[in-house]
């Protein structure tokens, strides 16, 4: 019964924040704080729902993550440097707070400060994925970079937990890993046989929660890491994207429980709130370090900034560290509340920050470009448009279909643009003219010469992507025609208000397209005339 009250409260608060054009997750956090203030506390059932959501989240990340990404120097080097430098810097600041006899900081030893600093060096995987998915940027380069850095942090987290708890993998750990690699072809076959209905999400639940979480816990490995690794095993399968989509609503609903538990577990007091605010005040240093370390390894200024904004928060992992430290009497129990409040505040700050990330970049772009390294990563090199007269942004099913139709009637005048390196590579193998670029990137529109382009078609899957791309398109001075897809009538109205010449509702107009196909293929329409 309590869980029903909690989720209803989350809906009300999330709905209010959504009407204010703020991310609903801020409302979920607020609901937890409000419920805590009137005497409610988290329940065992809500904790289970929260844990299931995090496990499914990590499994979904694994489905989209290529192992070779972690081997890139611009991933593991910034991630490692950030944890080391951030821990040392934050530890020094915490000791400085203690030197001035600030509440809860007084009496902390060097070991205490290093432990707290280490827990605050991590960023939240849950928050980052939520933000990237809402903006349709999971496949973007900065999105992949953020996720890869978070996976590296998860590896550090596993090592820490293994050392601090004395929990080391048992003799069955290597056997499990070897068995999974050997059985991978069989697992692929089971996925193929699961088809497209309700068996597909059940397949995901089975492999994420049982094979991934429970079996890895049994052999002495972290269960969440197991879910991530199992997802990575399926990443190369052609149905990995469909599997991730089938779990999306389950995952999102359960993650509401995660955000509720943060607020419900935060015991507020004057000292706790003061200490949390002090730690939030040094968050910009963490964001700056993310930007500097990725920039050093030749990542473009905008990519570095958006990556830093995505990771501009403290992590729920800090709660795990402090809970472990409090249980072993390494830290006063009040620090668990401090971390909970600090994590919540950074989520509230980071949400609108990420929403405005492109606008912020455009305001400071000239200054950032002065310090951008001259050499570019191969994935961020400029690509010419050649002689394209029509550009299609978003080469998914709709974009690919539009490309084929136009190219069949007017060969050589259309070029596709996609945010995903894997998608771009796939289309090029099919001899399609496709370039990799981010339509929401202001730099992209400034670097290209679109004077010869007569029409732009926006067919990206997320409505917000098409809206942001349209804003950049207008700012670049494009004079041609613009068409865009939408899933709902209100989205069509918004696009038309922003100046789109033609909108296509792919749900409503799918039937007419089907009818035209049948008319063309199966009979001569003149036979139906009276």
Query: Residue 230 and residue 238: Cα distance in Å, rounded?
Result: 15
270-294 b/e with 16+ CB inside 10 Å = b?
eebbebbebbbebbeebbebbbbbb
In the chain, how many domains are there?
2
Q: What separation in angstroms does the CA of 217 have from each of 49, 54, 126, 191, 318?
A: 18, 15, 21, 24, 20
- Tell me the DSSP string of 473-521: HHHTT--SEEEEEESSHHHHHHHHHTT-SEEEETTTSHHHHHHHHHHHH
Query: Residue 33 and residue 262: Cα distance in Å, rounded?
Result: 8
Which residue in this structure is represented by tokens 């692929």?
188
Asked if 97 contacts 269 with a C-beta cutoff of 8 angstroms, the reply is no
Does 379 fall in a domain?
A: no
Asked if 44 contacts 257 with a C-beta cutoff of 8 angstroms, the reply is no
What is the CATH classification number for the domain harbouring 514? 3.40.50.720
Residues 6+ apart with CB under 8 A from 97: 105, 278
Task: Give residue 163's pLDDT.
Answer: 64
Closest Cα to residue 283, out of 332, 336, 348, 333?
348
Asked if 397 contacts 426 with a C-beta cutoff of 8 angstroms, the reply is no
Task: Give residue 60's pLDDT.
Answer: 85
Residues 6+ apart with CB under 8 A from 178: none
- Tokens in use for 475? 């700012």
Asked if 33 contacts 344 with a C-beta cutoff of 8 angstroms, the reply is yes
Query: Residue 349 and residue 25: Cα distance in Å, rounded?
Result: 12
Does 375 fall in a domain?
A: no
Do 319 and 427 belong together in one domain?
no
- Tell me the DSSP string of 88-101: HHHHHHHHHHHHTT
| Backbone φ, ψ for residue 33 (5° rounding) | -65, -45
Asked if 269 contacts 276 with a C-beta cutoff of 8 angstroms, the reply is no
Do 204 and 159 belong together in one domain?
yes
Q: Given phi > 0 = left and psi -120 to 50 = alpha, else beta, which region is 372?
A: beta
Q: What angle do CA 309, 311, 313 make, to 5 degrees?
A: 100
Task: Give residue 84's pLDDT.
Answer: 95
Last residue of a domain, which of 370, 405, 439? 370
Beta bridge partners of 391: 415, 456
Task: Give residue 63's pLDDT.
Answer: 86
Q: What separation in angstroms does the CA of 312 have from each of 7, 17, 121, 149?
A: 27, 20, 10, 13
Do 172 and 58 belong together in one domain?
yes
Beta bridge partners of 100: none
Q: How many CB atoms neighbour CB 111 within 10 A?
A: 12
Closest Cα to residue 228, out of 320, 295, 129?
129
For 305, counting Cβ atoms within 10 Å of its Cβ (0-12 exposed, 13-18 middle, 19+ buried), the class is buried
Q: What separation in angstroms does the CA of 364 have from each of 143, 302, 368?
A: 21, 10, 6
Asked if 276 contacts 345 with a C-beta cutoff of 8 angstroms, the reply is yes
Do 52 and 164 belong together in one domain?
yes
Query: Residue 42 and residue 31: Cα distance in Å, rounded?
Result: 12
For 20-109, where are the alpha helices, taking DSSP H only?
Answer: 24-37, 44-63, 67-70, 73-99
Do 318 and 410 belong together in one domain?
no
Does 377 fall in a domain?
A: no
Do 177 and 29 belong together in one domain?
yes
Does 380 fall in a domain?
A: no
Task: Give residue 338's pLDDT.
Answer: 87
Asked if 121 contacts 315 with a C-beta cutoff of 8 angstroms, the reply is no
Do 173 and 298 belong together in one domain?
yes
Do 333 and 390 belong together in one domain?
no
Q: Structural domain of residue 457, as residue ranges?
A: 385-528
Last residue of a domain, which of 345, 370, 395? 370
Which pLDDT tens digits describe the chain residue by residue (530 residues)? 788 999 999 999 999 988 887 778 778 888 988 898 888 888 999 989 988 988 888 888 788 777 777 888 999 999 999 999 999 999 999 999 999 999 889 988 898 899 899 989 999 887 888 888 877 777 788 888 998 999 888 778 767 766 665 556 677 888 888 898 899 999 999 999 988 888 999 999 999 999 989 988 888 877 877 888 899 899 888 888 889 889 888 888 898 998 888 778 776 778 888 999 999 999 999 999 999 999 999 898 989 999 999 999 998 777 767 766 776 778 887 787 788 788 888 988 998 898 888 889 888 988 988 888 888 787 777 667 767 899 999 998 889 999 998 998 888 899 999 988 888 989 999 999 998 888 888 777 766 777 788 999 999 988 888 888 888 887 777 888 999 999 888 999 999 988 899 998 887 776 666 666 555 655 554 454 44
Does 162 fall in a domain?
A: yes
Query: Residue 493 and residue 411: Cα distance in Å, rounded?
Result: 32
Do 339 and 405 belong together in one domain?
no
Asked if 31 contacts 10 with a C-beta cutoff of 8 angstroms, the reply is yes
Do 343 and 407 belong together in one domain?
no
Query: Residue 487 and residue 525: Cα distance in Å, rounded?
Result: 30
Query: Residue 441 and residue 142: Cα distance in Å, rounded?
Result: 11
What is the CATH classification number for the domain harbouring 293? 1.20.1530.20
Query: Residue 110 and residue 116: Cα distance in Å, rounded?
Result: 10
- Tokens in use for 321? 């560290």
**Kind and range of the H or E run holding 372:** none
Last residue of a domain, which of 347, 370, 393? 370
Task: Give residue 220's pLDDT.
Answer: 80
Does 523 fall in a domain?
A: yes
Does 389 fall in a domain?
A: yes
Do 401 and 501 belong together in one domain?
yes
Task: Give residue 528's pLDDT.
Answer: 44
Q: What is the reported pTM? A: 0.74
Does 376 fall in a domain?
A: no
Do 222 and 256 belong together in one domain?
yes
Longest dimension (CA), the chain: 94
């Amino acid at each position: 019964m309590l869980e029903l009250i909690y989720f209803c409260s989350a809906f009300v608060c999330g709905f209010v924040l959504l009407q204010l054009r703020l991310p609903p997750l801020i409302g979920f956090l607020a609901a937890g704080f409000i419920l805590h203030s009137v005497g409610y506390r988290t329940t065992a059932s809500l904790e289970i729902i929260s844990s299931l959501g995090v496990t499914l989240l990590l499994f979904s990340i694994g489905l989209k993550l290529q192992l070779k990404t972690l081997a890139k120097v611009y991933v593991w080097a910034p991630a490692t440097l950030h944890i080391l430098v951030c821990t040392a810097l934050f530890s020094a600041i915490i000791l400085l707070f203690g030197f001035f006899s600030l509440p809860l900081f007084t009496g902390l030893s060097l070991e205490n400060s290093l432990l707290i600093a280490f827990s605050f060096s991590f960023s939240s995987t849950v928050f980052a994925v939520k933000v990237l998915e809402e903006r349709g940027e999971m496949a973007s380069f900065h999105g992949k970079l953020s996720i890869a850095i978070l996976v590296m942090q998860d590896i550090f987290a596993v090592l820490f937990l293994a050392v601090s708890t004395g929990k080391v993998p048992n003799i069955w750990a290597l056997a499990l890993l070897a068995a999974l690699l050997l059985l991978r072809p069989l697992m692929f076959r089971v996925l193929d046989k699961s088809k497209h209905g309700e068996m597909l999400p059940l397949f995901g639940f089975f492999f994420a929660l049982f094979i991934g979480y429970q079996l890895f816990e049994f052999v002495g490995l972290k269960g969440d890491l197991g879910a991530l690794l199992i997802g990575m095993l399926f990443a190369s399968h052609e149905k990995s994207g469909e599997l991730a989509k089938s779990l999306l609503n389950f995952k999102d609903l359960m993650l509401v429980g995660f955000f509720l538990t943060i607020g419900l577990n935060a015991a507020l007091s004057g000292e706790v709130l003061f200490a949390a605010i002090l730690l939030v005040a040094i968050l910009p240093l963490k964001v700056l370090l993310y930007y500097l370390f990725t920039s050093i390894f030749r990542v473009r200024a905008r990519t570095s900034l958006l990556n830093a904004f995505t990771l501009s928060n403290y992590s729920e992992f800090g709660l795990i560290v402090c809970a472990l430290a409090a249980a072993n009497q390494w830290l006063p129990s009040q620090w668990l509340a401090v971390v909970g409040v600090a994590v919540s505040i950074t989520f509230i700050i980071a949400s609108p920050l990420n929403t405005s990330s492109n606008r912020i970049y455009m305001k400071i772009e000239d200054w950032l470009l002065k310090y951008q390294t001259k050499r570019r990563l191969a994935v961020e090199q400029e690509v010419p448009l050649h002689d394209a007269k029509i550009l299609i942004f978003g080469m998914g099913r709709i974009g690919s279909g539009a490309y084929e139709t136009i190219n069949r009637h007017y060969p050589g005048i259309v070029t596709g643009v996609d945010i995903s390196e894997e998608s771009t590579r796939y289309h090029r193998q099919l001899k399609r003219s496709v370039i990799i670029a981010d339509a929401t990137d202001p730099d992209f529109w400034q670097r290209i010469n679109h004077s010869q382009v007569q029409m732009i078609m926006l067919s990206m899957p997320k409505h917000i992507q098409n809206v942001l791309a349209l804003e950049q398109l207008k700012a670049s001075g494009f004079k041609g025609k613009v068409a865009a897809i939408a899933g709902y009538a209100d989205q069509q109205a918004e696009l038309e208000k922003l100046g789109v010449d033609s909108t296509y509702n792919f749900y409503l107009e799918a039937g007419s397209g089907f009818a035209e196909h049948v008319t063309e293929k199966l009979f001569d329409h003149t036979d139906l005339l009276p």
